[in-house]
Amino acid sequence: MPYAAPRHCPRHHRLFTGPRCPECAEESKQRAEARRPNAGERGYGGDWRKARAEFLDAHPTCSHCRAPATVVDHVVAHKGDQALFWSRSNWQPLCKRCHDRKTATHDGAFGRPIRCETAR
């Protein structure tokens, strides 16, 4: 299969191959991060850390692979809804590997479309 020809960036960065100029993509990512509230502002402050530790003590293994759990995952993404955020029935213990996989495939990480909650 032939390689694609390099393309010019509309903002006059270097030539690139692929769907998007890497420099433009990095700038876009930095702008998005600058707008994102910090962890405390998103609800993950001291109260969360305490509740998380208690939950992981009570549920020490990953609900998917039975490895040691290190992450408390919100089964249904709370998207700022504090009632859903604090609802322990919406929490599940996961290891980091399973949490990263779930986030990437179900919660729209890496630019993927968000899957329907019923598909889980």
Please, what is the average pLDDT of the chain?
A: 87
**Domain boundaries defined on the chain:** 46-119
Supply the pLDDT for residue 120.
42
The whole-angstrom distance between residue 32's C-alpha and the CA centroid of its chain comes to: 14
Q: How confident is the model at residue 43 (pLDDT cuts 50, 70, 90)?
A: confident
Supply the pLDDT for residue 59.
97
pTM of the full structure: 0.67
pLDDT, tens only, 74-101: 999 888 899 999 999 999 999 999 999 9
Mean pLDDT of all residues in 1-30:
86
Question: Encoding tokens for residue 75?
Answer: 């089964």
- CA dihedral 71→72→78→81, nearest 10 degrees, is -120
Supply the pLDDT for residue 118.
45
Cα gap 112→120, rounded to integer Å:
16
Contact call for residues 105 and 112 (beta carbons, < 8 A): yes
Cα gap 64→98, rounded to integer Å:
7
